[in-house]
Amino acid sequence: MKPAYSNCQQPMIFSESKNLIVTAASGIRLLRRILSASLLTVTLALSLILFTSTPPAFATLTDDRFDGTIYALYAGNGSLVPPKVKMTDSFKRKKPVVLVFYTDDSRDSKQYAIVVSQLQEFYGRAADLMPISVDSLPPKPSPKLTEPGHYYEGFVPQTVILDQSGKVVFNEKGQIPFEQVDDALRKVFDLLPRENSVALKRRVVNELNVELSK
């Protein structure tokens, strides 16, 4: 026998079903709003990271913008900084010192970093190569001969070579060709002049780096 419903029960059932459908639809709309808000937050966060950071892909040699550590970015030799030894140690061991003053936001320093890396390749074991960020120097020049700040003259890049006795034998400002610094170091180590030795030629490795080869 089929159940019998009164006329007042049927509208009540339909009303409850309608309320359930409306509630479910409202829940779906709310979920969609939450998801949309979350996606918007993630998108804004990623955009902020992209605009405020400077990835190496956008690094360039031709401006004075800070891109990061120039010896890692442009010379491919992040091991150069910070220097592994101090001048006091070099003087005690009677080892020549090559000071290179630079800043990470100087186009000249960026381009010269490649030359400094080449110097390490040829003289890294015989001399102590010390790239010095001028931002790390005290405001006033140091009176001590064993402090890099004693030799800084307010220009970047600046290259200073001290021989085994601690005497300054080379002091030049600006971008200097490898060969000019090489000539000075050949005299320090009593090596044959370039014209009497194997000639070194520049070989392009990539758009940023150039190596010397025979």
Q: What residue has token string 């910070």?
A: 82
CB 51 within 8 A of CB 99: no
For position 59, what pLDDT does the model report? Answer: 61
Mean local confidence (pLDDT), 53-75:
77
The string of pLDDT tens digits covering residues 9-40 is 555 555 555 555 556 556 677 667 776 666 66
pTM, to two decimals = 0.66
Contacts of 79 (CB under 8 A, 6+ apart): none
The string of pLDDT tens digits covering residues 176-187 is 999 999 999 999
Mean local confidence (pLDDT), 96-105:
97
Q: CB 187: neighbour CB atoms within 10 A?
A: 14
Using CB atoms within 10 A of its CB, is residue 37 exposed (0-12), middle (13-18) or buried (19+)? exposed
For position 109, what pLDDT does the model report? Answer: 96
The CA distance from 97 to 130, in Å, is: 7
- For residue 147, the Cα-to-chain-centroid distance in whole angstroms is 25
| pLDDT, greater one: 68 or 58 | 68
How many residues belong to the chain? 214
pLDDT at 214 > cutoff 50 = no
The CA distance from 160 to 97, in Å, is: 8
For residue 60, give the 3-state DSSP assignment: coil
Q: Are β-strands 168-173 and 201-204 bridged in parallel, bridged antiparallel, or unpaired?
A: unpaired
For position 121, what pLDDT does the model report? Answer: 92
Q: Give the CA distances from residue 64 to residues 25, 106, 108, 111, in Å, rounded to whole numbers and listed in that order.
A: 58, 5, 8, 11
The CA distance from 211 to 186, in Å, is: 19
Q: Are β-strands 128-133 and 97-102 bridged in parallel, bridged antiparallel, or unpaired?
A: parallel
